[in-house]
Amino acid sequence: MIFFGLHNYLQEAIMNIEGFEYGVMLGTMEVLGVTVCSFLERHFIARERGRIAPLRSFFYLTACLLSSSALSNISLNYINFPTKVVFRSCKLIPTMLIGSLINGRRFSLSEYMVALAVCFGLVLFAAADWENSPNFHPIGLICVSMSVFADSILPNAQERLFRLGSSRLEVTVFTNILTLIIMTISTYFSGDLMGTINLAISDRRAALYMIIYISVAYVAISFHMHIVKRFGGVTAVLTATARKAMTIVISFIFFPKEFSPFYVVRNNKRKMI
């Protein structure tokens, strides 16, 4: 939770750097760090070789990861960071539904009602952003909603591979390396890659933030993958939802924003749960 808090702080800090207009590159940098570090850990520490899961399985995971990461970070060009964070908490219900379909998990009516109450709080939060941000663009909501759907498939698909015997490092390496190749090509032709590199060269603070962000991303994702492997995809999403409160507090402390009573109503709703 601590590492994800630092990860999200750096993410917003980078977005607030003057001249940084490449939201999609946050996902690319994250995938770069996870790919390189997981490969080194797998090759030199765990000394794993080969793979258990068929290669086609990783293409499905790559499509989900690519969609989730790219759409989520693109949305930051249209909505503020707390709104993105809270909307991504909405993946709880679709994750539960998809978990039932893919992995045969069963959830009680009361569990679905609790998840529905959390999602209702998200609507109140979005209303607060509408009120405080006149330039709030619906494209941002569309992007982050699509990323939520892709992200709800990802942990369940990963859980399925773990049940088949794949290791954490196998799933992490093969999923992210395919994603990195696609994201590198797409950001190069869009100009985002070179724009980010040029900014890092001209701005030392930006370069430092990016380097730390890449490193922290790997540690945070590694802990997340441990949870998916040991407890399942839905539990991992529940844990992620719990840490959102810390992320929002950090965002308001270090990056001051207008405050609305809707935020209080929404958080009181969470406390009632």
Q: What is the pLDDT of residues 146-198, one digit of tens each?
A: 998 998 999 999 999 999 899 999 999 999 998 999 989 999 999 999 999 99
CA distance 104 to 190: 41
Distances (CA, A) of 162 to 40, 53, 96, 155, 157: 20, 9, 18, 10, 9
Pair of tokens at residue 222: 């590694």
CA distance 190 to 183: 10
Percentage of the chain lying above the pLDDT 70 cut: 78
Pair of tokens at residue 239: 């844990």
DSSP symbol at 154: H
Percentage of the chain lying above the pLDDT 90 cut: 35
Q: What is the pLDDT of residues 8-66, one digit of tens each?
A: 788 888 988 999 988 889 889 999 999 999 999 999 999 998 899 998 899 989 999 88
Q: Say if residues 47 and 253 touch (Cβ distance below 8 Å).
A: no
State the number of CA atoms in the 13 A half-sphere of 1 facing the CB.
13
Estimate to the nearest angstrom the gap between the alpha carbon of 36 and the chain centroid. Answer: 18
Q: What is the pLDDT of residues 23-37, one digit of tens each?
A: 889 889 999 999 999
pLDDT computed for residue 79 by the predictor: 80
CA distance 65 to 71: 10
- pTM of structure: 0.75
Pair of tokens at residue 216: 């922290």
Q: Say if residues 11 and 29 touch (Cβ distance below 8 Å).
A: no
CA distance 33 to 30: 5
